[in-house]
């Protein structure tokens, strides 16, 4: 009986509240069922049904009245109940338009059962334009892009508040915590029902952190705890890279980092009890944080349940955590799910097809300072790949992408194959590596998974244009074109020329360089990376012709012509692992000397020399992406061999009867090159890059010697000089002038042994594919020797400095460096000192 009374009481209360809410809602929307004169009264307790005989709209001077009537949902001839939902809904629909400031629906006349309605409204003004006061033009342009105010939009209170919040948020991110924004509406004198917004911005002063006070920090040092707040730092003299400006969002993130640091140190109960930020002056704040550390915990036992594929011992070995270790949930989760520095449990299963695998660590018992963990494993069934879907390749053909994909339909799912595929697609250079989106879409019902690859095409063709006036010899210029995604099969289809046919992953390179009438060179190169389309066997063919002339006044007195052709075949290796490649090439060069007198040639001035070279290069490349690598390495060993003609001839090359033309008719040598680069992310995108380079050149017959055609030249930016002979290796060494590190005794010809070591710290400014920019600091050293017997890897010309790189798809890698050379180059007494270098192209050496 009591429960029945309570139920009746609750029902009556609910009905009363509901009735009140409906009445309030009607009042809120401004619904008025009486005429402006008040002649027609509405009895809310006695609804009456009427037929709408007519609808009029007043106050709509800038909007179509018929459109407003249609939007309201009211129709002439329709029966409605007054009061009733139809009129309330009509008001709501008109309000939702956002173009009216007030809406009322009045009854203007009643004739029997016919009612004449009037929609009375006031229109909101539209935005004609806006402008900023109190800030510079550059800042105004930035804010214009951020606030996204569109001319012609209705000006609402929501728009005003949102604009103020966006501006305040923008300046808060830069440390201007107290920014004031006032928006004044000014009537547009030209456009009717339009306003101009004047946005007054007062940034005020940048707010810095005067002092950070930590209470309750006892187990860990206060210095270490503060260091974990990466973006929240106290004001201190000399602080440059981590300024002390206060940014609320960064402060919130740093508080989370502080607690995470405690958790990583075993303090699982650590928390911030209280924190406060208060103004000291208009330009500074203090921060007080009250920490609760709790006690440090340790693992007591780790048990596994639900595991059948691998036993406890195998899983424990991969996990790498033992009883007695500090309890660190962050490290535990890393070793379970994704460990960038080693193996993890998830990879162990997922690389063998167990896509549906998961493991949940559960604290089953906490005793004193010890924690017992139970690893609850769900292995599931092995998943097989059903479909591969590729999206976003607007230019690159599907087959170019699919041949790089390691996850093939019918295969077992493998997380390692996904990661490798991402790397292969990044190194193609056709897509933005920062936005490659890989989404496995599993289907547990049938044990399959579809894999979707989302790609964003980026421009990667390059153009090289340079020019200047070469004095007596006239214009000096270079034009180079590199098409990195060329399509030879579509050359005959002119509809595909945009400007050349593209999409098949082939590489076409054209280059012309001229220095007036003194020097010209022409080259063309074509590469097919998948010869035959079935295996990654590459074919490259290239041809180069260059001609250098010497003049006495206007009379040509000598020339050197060079013709060179090269064919190379490359393939990927499976051993020692599939990161390795091998490339074999055969080159044939013809040097034609006609009264050519130049440094290093001695008395050899006339004749033809022939160079037939076989080259083998074994390389391993595991960098994650080519433009800004964060991890991985590159290593290559290159051996170039010519036939040992002198050993097959019965000639005495020490004899005075041997002419230079006969001695150098067939160029012979063996050349060994070793290059290595290693990349490792230190913190975030801060990368340490280390490189080492060695080169050795030797003769088969010491009596014959090497001749003038193959040498090492070191120093400067490392760009090949326009007069350098084909085959000459130009090695950069920042801090020294171009070609300045050359053994003095060779009279500028070049060395036969060199080494170089480089250490760089890199940090990206922008990873936008349209312009990838990073800054770097470096230290390097190298040397160049006239004979292998003199080689000493510790005897180096040293330098250090800093620079910047910008990669633009159309121009490749451009760089500028400042370096200081600490040593005197060969033939000089003073240190090289300060040098600026400009570089084009991303060079390993």
Note the pLDDT tens digit of each residue in 237-273.
Answer: 766 666 788 999 999 999 999 999 999 999 999 999 9
* CA-closest candidate to residue 606, choices 591, 616, 617, 619: 591
* Fold agreement (208-292, 517-840): no
pLDDT at 469: 53
Query: At a CB cut-off of 8 Å and minimum separation 6, what does 575 contact?
Result: none
pLDDT at 24: 39
pLDDT tens digits, 57-77: 887 767 777 888 887 888 888
Minimum mean pLDDT range among 90-94, 452-456, 778-782: 90-94
Maximum average pLDDT range among 81-85, 147-151, 158-162, 631-635: 631-635
pLDDT tens digits, 764-818: 999 887 789 999 999 999 999 999 999 999 999 999 999 999 988 767 788 899 9
pLDDT at 36: 35
C-alpha 283/C-alpha 207 separation (Å) is 5
674: phi then psi, degrees, rounded to nearest 5:
-130, 130
C-alpha 471/C-alpha 277 separation (Å) is 67
Maximum average pLDDT range among 596-600, 602-606, 689-693: 689-693
- Asked if the model's pLDDT at residue 581 lies above 90, the reply is yes
* Separation of first and last alpha carbons in the chain: 94
- Asked if the model's pLDDT at residue 19 lies above 50, the reply is no
Q: In CATH, what class is 517-840?
A: mainly beta
- Asked if the model's pLDDT at residue 23 lies above 80, the reply is no
C-alpha 181/C-alpha 165 separation (Å) is 9
Options 3.40.50.2300, 3.40.50.880, 3.30.1540.10, 3.10.20.310; CATH of 208-292 = 3.10.20.310
Query: At a CB cut-off of 8 Å and minimum separation 6, what does 381 contact?
Result: 354, 356, 447
CA neighbours closer than 13 Å in the CB half-sphere of residue 805: 22
pLDDT at 190: 86
DSSP H or E segment with residue 766: strand 753-768
Supply the mean pLDDT for the chain.
Answer: 86
Structural tokens at position 844:
């390993």
Which residue did the predictor score with more confidence, 523 or 89? 523
Query: Do residues 536 and 529 touch, judged by C-beta distance below 8 A?
Result: yes
Query: Do residues 550 and 597 touch, judged by C-beta distance below 8 A?
Result: yes
Query: Do residues 51 and 78 touch, judged by C-beta distance below 8 A?
Result: yes
Structural tokens at position 135:
């800030």
Minimum mean pLDDT range among 14-23, 261-270, 422-431, 778-787: 14-23
> Per-residue pLDDT averaged across 439-452, rounded?
94
Which residue did the predictor score with more confidence, 816 or 15? 816
Question: Which of the four pLDDT bands, split at 50, 70 and 90, describes residue 339?
Answer: confident
Which residue did the predictor score with more confidence, 694 or 841? 694
For the domain 126-202, what is the CATH code? 3.10.20.310
- Three-class SS state of 252: helix
C-alpha 726/C-alpha 742 separation (Å) is 17
pLDDT at 34: 37
- Asked if the model's pLDDT at residue 217 lies above 70, the reply is yes
C-alpha 88/C-alpha 95 separation (Å) is 11
CA dihedral in degrees (306, 307, 311, 312; nearest 10)?
-50
Cis bond before residue 399 (omega within 30° of 0): no
pLDDT at 153: 85
Give percent above pLDDT 70 in the chain. 90
Question: Which of the four pLDDT bands, split at 50, 70 and 90, describes residue 843?
Answer: very low
Which residue did the predictor score with more confidence, 71 or 5? 71
Question: Which of the four pLDDT bands, split at 50, 70 and 90, describes residue 475?
Answer: low
Minimum mean pLDDT range among 1-10, 144-153, 655-664: 1-10
pTM over 0.75: no
C-alpha 735/C-alpha 717 separation (Å) is 9
746: phi then psi, degrees, rounded to nearest 5:
-90, 0
pLDDT at 471: 46
> Per-residue pLDDT averaged across 144-153, rounded?
88
Domains in the chain: boundaries: 22-123, 126-202, 208-292, 298-378, 384-454, 517-840
Could you name the CATH architecture of 384-454?
Roll (3.10)
- Three-class SS state of 195: strand
Minimum mean pLDDT range among 258-262, 341-345, 478-482: 341-345
- What Rg value do the Cα atoms of the chain yield, rounded? 39
Minimum mean pLDDT range among 91-105, 400-414, 613-627, 645-659: 91-105
C-alpha 708/C-alpha 560 separation (Å) is 13
698 pairs with which residues across the strands? 670
608 pairs with which residues across the strands? 592
Alpha helices in 627-718 (DSSP H): 660-663
Residue 554 burial class via C-beta count within 10 angstroms: exposed 0-12, middle 13-18, buried 19 and up: exposed
Question: Which of the four pLDDT bands, split at 50, 70 and 90, describes residue 493?
Answer: confident
pLDDT tens digits, 273-324: 999 999 999 899 999 999 999 999 999 999 999 999 999 999 999 999 999 9
C-alpha 104/C-alpha 36 separation (Å) is 10
For the domain 22-123, what is the CATH code? 3.10.20.310
What is the fold, at CATH topology level, of the domain defined by 298-378? Ubiquitin-like (UB roll) (3.10.20)
- Measured CA distances, 788 to 103, 654, 782, 784 (Å): 94, 21, 15, 10
Give percent above pLDDT 90 in the chain. 56
**Interior angle at CA 780, CA 774 and CA 785, nearest 5:** 140
C-alpha 267/C-alpha 159 separation (Å) is 46
Question: Which of the four pLDDT bands, split at 50, 70 and 90, describes residue 22?
Answer: very low
Structural tokens at position 835:
């040098």
């Amino acid at each position: 009986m009591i429960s029945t009374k309570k139920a009746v009481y609750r029902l009556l209360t609910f009905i009363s509240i509901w009735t009140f809410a409906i009445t309030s809602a009607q009042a809120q929307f401004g619904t008025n069922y009486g005429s402006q004169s008040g002649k027609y009264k509405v009895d809310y307790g006695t609804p009456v049904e009427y037929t709408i005989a007519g609808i009029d709209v007043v106050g709509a001077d800038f909007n179509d009245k018929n459109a407003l009537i249609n939007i309201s949902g009211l129709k002439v001839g329709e029966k409605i109940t007054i009061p009733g939902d139809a009129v309330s809904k009509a008001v709501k629909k008109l309000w939702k338009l956002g173009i009216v400031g007030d809406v009322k629906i009045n009854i203007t006349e009643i004739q029997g059962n016919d009612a004449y309605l009037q929609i009375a409204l006031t229109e909101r003004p539209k935005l004609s334009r806006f402008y900023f006061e109190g800030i510079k033009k550059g800042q105004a342009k930035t804010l214009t892009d951020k606030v996204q105010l569109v001319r012609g939009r209705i000006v609402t209170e929501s728009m005003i508040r949102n604009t103020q919040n966006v501006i305040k948020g923008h300046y808060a991110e830069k440390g201007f915590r107290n920014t004031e924004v006032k928006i004044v509406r000014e009537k547009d004198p030209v456009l009717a029902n339009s306003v101009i917004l004047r946005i007054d911005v007062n940034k005020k002063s940048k707010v810095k952190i005067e002092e950070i006070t930590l209470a309750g920090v006892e187990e860990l040092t206060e210095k270490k705890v503060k260091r974990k707040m990466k973006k929240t730092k106290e004001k201190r003299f000399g602080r440059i890279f981590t300024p002390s400006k206060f940014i609320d969002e960064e402060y919130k993130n740093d508080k989370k980092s502080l607690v995470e640091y405690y958790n990583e140190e075993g303090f699982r109960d650590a928390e911030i009890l209280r924190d406060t930020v208060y103004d000291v002056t208009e330009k500074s704040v203090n921060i007080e944080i009250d920490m609760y550390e709790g006690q440090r915990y340790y693992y007591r036992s780790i048990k596994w349940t639900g595991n059948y594929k691998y036993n406890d011992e195998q899983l424990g070995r991969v996990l790498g955590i033992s009883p007695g270790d500090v309890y660190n949930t962050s490290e535990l989760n890393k070793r379970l799910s994704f460990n960038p520095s080693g193996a993890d449990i998830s990879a162990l299963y997922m690389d063998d097809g167990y896509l549906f695998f998961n493991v949940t660590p559960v604290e089953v018992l906490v005793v004193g300072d010890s924690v017992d963990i139970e690893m609850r494993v769900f292995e599931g069934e092995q998943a097989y790949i059903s479909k591969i879907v590729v999206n976003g390749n607007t230019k690159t053909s599907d087959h170019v992408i699919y041949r790089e994909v390691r996850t093939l339909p019918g295969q077992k799912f493998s997380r390692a194959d996904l990661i490798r595929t991402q790397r292969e697609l990044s190194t193609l250079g056709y897509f933005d590596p920062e936005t490659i989106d890989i989404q496995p879409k599993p289907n547990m019902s049938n044990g399959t998974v579809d894999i979707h690859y989302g790609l964003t095409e980026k421009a990667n063709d390059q153009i090289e244009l340079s020019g200047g006036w070469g004095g007596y010899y006239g214009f000096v210029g270079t034009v180079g074109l590199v098409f990195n995604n060329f399509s030879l099969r579509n050359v005959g289809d002119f509809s595909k020329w945009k400007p050349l046919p593209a999409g098949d992953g082939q590489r076409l390179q054209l280059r012309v360089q001229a220095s007036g009438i003194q020097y010209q060179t022409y080259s063309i190169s074509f590469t097919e990376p998948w010869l035959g389309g079935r295996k990654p066997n590459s074919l490259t063919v290239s041809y180069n012709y260059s001609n250098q002339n010497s003049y006495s006044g206007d009379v040509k007195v000598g020339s050197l012509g060079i013709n060179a052709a090269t064919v190379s075949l490359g393939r990927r290796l499976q051993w020692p692992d599939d990161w390795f490649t091998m490339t074999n090439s055969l080159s044939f060069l013809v040097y034609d000397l006609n009264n050519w007198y130049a440094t290093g040639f001695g008395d050899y001035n006339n004749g033809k020399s022939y160079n037939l070279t076989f080259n083998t290069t074994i390389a391993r490349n595991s960098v994650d992406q080519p433009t800004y690598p964060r991890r991985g390495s590159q290593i290559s060993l290159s051996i170039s061999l010519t036939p040992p003609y002198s050993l097959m001839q019965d000639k005495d090359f020490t004899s005075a009867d041997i002419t230079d033309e006969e001695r150098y008719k067939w160029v012979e040598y063996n050349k060994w090159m070793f290059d290595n680069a290693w990349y490792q992310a230190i913190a975030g995108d801060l990368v340490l890059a280390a490189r080492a380079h060695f080169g050795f050149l030797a003769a088969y017959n010491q009596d014959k010697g090497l001749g003038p055609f193959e040498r090492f030249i070191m120093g400067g930016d490392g760009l090949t000089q326009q007069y350098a002979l084909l085959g000459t290796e130009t090695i950069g060494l920042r801090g020294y002038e171009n070609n300045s590190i050359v053994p003095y005794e060779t009279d500028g010809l070049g060395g036969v042994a060199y080494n170089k070591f480089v250490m760089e710290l890199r940090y990206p400014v922008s990873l936008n594919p349209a312009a990838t920019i990073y800054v770097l600091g470096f230290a390097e050293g190298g040397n160049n020797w006239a004979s292998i017997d003199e080689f000493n890897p510790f005897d180096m010309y040293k330098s250090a400095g800093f620079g910047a790189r910008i990669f633009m798809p159309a121009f490749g890698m451009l760089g500028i460096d400042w370096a200081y050379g600490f040593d005197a180059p060969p033939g000089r007494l003073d240190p090289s000192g300060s040098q600026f270098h400009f570089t084009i192209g991303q060079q390993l050496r």
